[in-house]
């Protein structure tokens, strides 16, 4: 059925196939990534609130490598260590002076890590959005082109019987069908992952606030 | 210590390969199940009614018989005997003593006139019936001679109306061709030898193609379609004939 389609329709179908394959690849990838991130974040938070020391948490981070919260912790803890090392060169090693902007430094490090993680989580989602928005139109273009070609053939043959008209139009409509097949999962996946990523972002914001509170409570001003 | 920027995250390449495999599997399933619409025409069997050999609804046309309840109430119509002395219809009889003799004589004359009219009507009816029979016989002969008419009775032996297996097969092929016809050129024509085996299976050999692939395919499909509901030739014999397929019909 597809063998007798024109070159333009074939190219459109190939493009739509590419859209579909890549979209589904991204959907599978993001499903795995978000699923792992959610599970690891839950386990990490549980471990974080049970642990007493930051260095103990830092030594166990490999167990939660898929969680974006570990990245935040790593960045915040790294900045805290740097501040401690700087203070150790001075008098009291246990004081992180807020006057010198130590907590602000940690907050900036956490914000930077959050941005990096959001970028990582949202990576490739633009392709899903593009597929969802453009694949039906690409398919429609293929259909319009196919119908034009079919009508030209009908005009050349001089017969307007249904048996002559129907196959050409059916071949043309395949392009719209495949465009929709590519677009619908892409739109659904895009909306689903946007929601999941929004939840992860709010978790990261909460964790950053909690981390800064702990730092200020336990290290600053001592 | 790895930072957020130096972390190695998994790449989506493996998932793209998985997606490609899934698409391939779906395509193979669809291709093997012939899931895509082929836009076949409705090939419901055609029912044929032989108008020539239909049983006659009223064999005694012009002689309607009185229904049974009427017979119970009144005496039946008299037998076709013009010289019947008694009146045919059972008129209410009055006592003879009260009627004068002149009136009785006039009444007798009236009854005789009615009897004559009735006899005349009967003769006319018989003549009309004979004329109708002759007309029907002539029509049957005309249809039998006319090869292209749809008069075929496939199981006939050749001694009665509509016994032409050729006409039967031709009409089936023509109807099948109408259902599947597709042309690309102006006036395509296919000459083919059709062979119907004693078991009713049809065989098809193109003697001369039309040069129009659409029409050639349509003829092939028409033969296959006609062969689905074909009745075997009479007397368990093989039937073979050359037909000419055109968009206007089959000859």
B231-245 per-position pLDDT tens digit: 888 877 888 888 888
B246 within some domain: yes
- B2, pLDDT greater than 60: no
A1 within some domain: no
Q: Who has greater pLDDT, A217 or A176?
A: A176
**Residues B141 and B182 reside in one and the same domain:** no
Number of independent structural domains in chain B: 2
Q: B212 CA to chain A: closest CA distance, Å?
A: 10
**Residues B197 and B127 reside in one and the same domain:** no
Which of B10, B12, B186 is opposite residue A26, by nearest beta carbon?
A: B12
Q: Who has greater pLDDT, A212 or A155?
A: A212
Quote the mean pLDDT of chain A: 86
B104 within some domain: yes
**Residues B137 and B187 reside in one and the same domain:** no
**Residues B128 and B170 reside in one and the same domain:** no
Looking at residue B84, what is its pLDDT?
47
Instruction: Please give the average per-residue pLDDT across B107-124, as a whole number.
Output: 88
**Residues B175 and B235 reside in one and the same domain:** yes
By percentage, how much of chain B surpasses pLDDT 70? 61
- B162, pLDDT greater than 50: no
B123 within some domain: yes
Range name among A1-15, B49-63, B89-103, B184-198 with the lowest pLDDT average:
B89-103
B107 within some domain: yes
pTM: 0.52
**Residues B169 and B219 reside in one and the same domain:** yes
| Boundary residue ending a domain (B145, B179, B213) | B145
Coil, helix or strand at residue B241? strand
Task: Tell me whether residue B79 is exposed, middle or buried, using C-beta atoms within 10 angstroms of its C-beta: 0 to 12, 13 to 18, 19 or more.
Answer: exposed
**Residues B182 and B217 reside in one and the same domain:** yes
Q: B131 CA to chain A: closest CA distance, Å?
A: 47
B138 within some domain: yes
Q: pLDDT tens-digit profile of B180-206?
A: 888 777 788 889 888 888 888 888 888
Q: Cβ(B221)–Cβ(B204) under 8 Å? A: no
B72 within some domain: no
Instruction: Please give the average per-residue pLDDT across A194-213, as a whole number.
Output: 92
- B72, pLDDT greater than 50: no
A82 within some domain: yes
b/e code A8-27 from CB counts within 10 Å (16+ = b): ebeebbebbbebbbbbbbbb
Looking at residue B189, what is its pLDDT?
87
- B54, pLDDT greater than 80: no
B125 within some domain: yes
HSE value, Cβ hemisphere, 13 Å, CA-based, for B153: 17
CA angle B139, B145, B150 (to 5 degrees): 75
Looking at residue A92, what is its pLDDT?
57
Instruction: Please give the average per-residue pLDDT across A168-193, as a whole number.
Output: 92
Confidence of residue A53 (pLDDT cuts 50, 70, 90): confident
Q: Who has greater pLDDT, B144 or A195?
A: A195
Looking at residue B10, what is its pLDDT?
74
Instruction: Please give the average per-residue pLDDT across A131-146, as a whole number.
Output: 94
Tell me the C-alpha distance between B169 and B233, whole Å: 9
**Residues B199 and B124 reside in one and the same domain:** no
**Residues B130 and B171 reside in one and the same domain:** no
Looking at residue A20, what is its pLDDT?
95
Q: Find which of A124-133, B42-51, B185-194, B213-222 is predicted with most confidence, using mean pLDDT.
A: A124-133
Instruction: Please give the average per-residue pLDDT across B60-88, as a whole number.
Output: 49
Number of independent structural domains in chain A: 1
Q: Give the structural domain span for B121.
A: 98-145
- B122, pLDDT greater than 80: yes
Tell me the C-alpha distance between B251 and A53, whole Å: 100
Which of B4, B182, B214 is opposite residue A71, by nearest beta carbon?
A: B4
Looking at residue A141, what is its pLDDT?
94
Question: What CATH number has the domain bearing residue B202?
Answer: 3.30.1150.10
Instruction: Please give the average per-residue pLDDT across A19-39, as a whole number.
Output: 93
Chain A residues interacting with chain B (CB cutoff of 8 angstroms)? 1, 17, 20-29, 32-33, 71, 74-75, 78, 112-113, 116-117, 120, 124, 156-159, 161-164, 166-167, 170, 174
Cβ contacts (< 8 Å) between B2 and chain A: which residues? 74
Range name among A73-82, A107-116, A213-222 with the lowest pLDDT average:
A213-222
Looking at residue A166, what is its pLDDT?
79
Looking at residue A113, what is its pLDDT?
92
- A126, pLDDT greater than 90: yes
**Residues B112 and B174 reside in one and the same domain:** no
A2 within some domain: no
Q: A79 CA to chain B: closest CA distance, Å?
A: 11
Cβ contacts (< 8 Å) between A117 and chain B: which residues? 4
- In angstroms, what is the C-alpha Rg of chain B? 38
- B89, pLDDT greater than 60: no
Please state, in angstroms and as integers, the Cα–Cα distance from residue B87 to each residue in A81, B68, B113, B119, following that order: 140, 21, 10, 13
Q: Cβ(A132)–Cβ(A179) under 8 Å? A: no
B73 within some domain: no
Q: Find which of A66-70, A94-98, A164-168 is predicted with most confidence, using mean pLDDT.
A: A66-70
Looking at residue B75, what is its pLDDT?
47
Across the beta sheet with B190-196, the strand order is: B202-208, B190-196, B239-246, B249-250
Cβ contacts (< 8 Å) between A115 and chain B: which residues? none
Task: Tell me whether residue B165 is exposed, middle or buried, using C-beta atoms within 10 angstroms of its C-beta: 0 to 12, 13 to 18, 19 or more.
Answer: buried
- A188, pLDDT greater than 90: yes
Angle of helix B13-33 relative to helix A7-50, nearest 10 degrees, comes to 130
Q: Give the structural domain span for A185.
A: 7-218
End-to-end CA distance of chain B: 91
H or E element in which residue B243 lies: strand B239-246
Q: Who has greater pLDDT, A29 or B10?
A: A29
**Residues B181 and B128 reside in one and the same domain:** no
Confidence of residue A61 (pLDDT cuts 50, 70, 90): confident
């Amino acid at each position: 059925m597809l063998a007798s389609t024109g070159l333009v329709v074939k190219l459109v179908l190939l493009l739509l196939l590419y859209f579909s394959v890549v979209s589904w690849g991204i959907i599978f990838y993001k499903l795995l990534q978000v699923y792992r991130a959610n599970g690891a974040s839950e386990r990490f938070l549980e471990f974080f609130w049970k642990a007493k020391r930051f260095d103990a948490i830092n030594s166990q981070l490999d167990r939660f490598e898929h969680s974006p919260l570990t990245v935040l912790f790593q960045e915040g803890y790294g900045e805290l260590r740097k501040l401690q090392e700087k203070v150790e060169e001075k008098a009291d090693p246990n004081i992180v002076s807020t006057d010198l902007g130590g907590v602000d430094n940690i907050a900036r490090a956490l914000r930077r890590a959050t941005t990096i993680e959001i970028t990582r989580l949202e990576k490739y989602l633009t392709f899903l959005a593009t597929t969802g928005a453009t694949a039906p139109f690409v398919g429609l273009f293929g259909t319009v082109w196919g119908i034009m070609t079919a009508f030209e053939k009908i005009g050349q043959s001089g017969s307007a019987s249904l048996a002559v008209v129907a196959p050409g139009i059916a071949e043309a409509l395949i392009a719209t069908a495949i465009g929709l097949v590519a677009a619908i999962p892409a739109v659904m996946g895009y909306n689903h992952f946007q929601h999941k990523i929004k939840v992860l972002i709010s978790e990261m914001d909460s964790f950053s606030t909690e981390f800064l509170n702990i730092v200020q409570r336990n290290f600053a001003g001592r | 210590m790895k930072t957020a920027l130096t972390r190695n995250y998994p790449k989506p390449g493996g998932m793209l390969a998985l997606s490609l495999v899934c698409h391939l599997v779906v395509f193979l399933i669809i291709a093997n199940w012939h899931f895509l619409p082929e836009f076949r025409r409705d090939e419901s069997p055609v029912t044929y009614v032989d108008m020539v050999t239909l049983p006659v609804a009223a064999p005694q046309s012009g002689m309607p018989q009185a229904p049974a309840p009427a017979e119970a109430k009144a005496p039946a119509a008299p037998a076709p005997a013009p010289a019947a002395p008694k009146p045919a219809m059972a008129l209410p009889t009055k006592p003879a003593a009260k009627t004068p003799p002149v009136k009785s004589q006039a009444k007798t004359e009236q009854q005789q006139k009615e009897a004559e009219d009735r006899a005349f009507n009967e003769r006319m009816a018989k003549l009309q019936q004979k004329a109708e029979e002759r007309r029907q016989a002539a029509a049957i002969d005309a249809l039998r001679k006319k090869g292209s008419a749809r008069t075929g009775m496939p199981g006939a032996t050749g001694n009665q109306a509509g016994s032409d297996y050729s006409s039967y097969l031709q009409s089936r092929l023509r109807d099948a061709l109408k259902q599947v016809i597709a042309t690309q050129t102006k006036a395509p024509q296919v000459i083919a030898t059709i062979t119907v085996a004693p078991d009713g299976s049809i065989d098809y050999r193109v003697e001369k193609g039309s040069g129009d692939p659409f029409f050639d395919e349509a003829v092939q499909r028409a033969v296959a379609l006609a062969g689905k509901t074909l009745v075997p030739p009479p007397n368990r014999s093989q039937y073979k004939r050359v037909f000419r397929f055109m968009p206007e019909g089959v000859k």
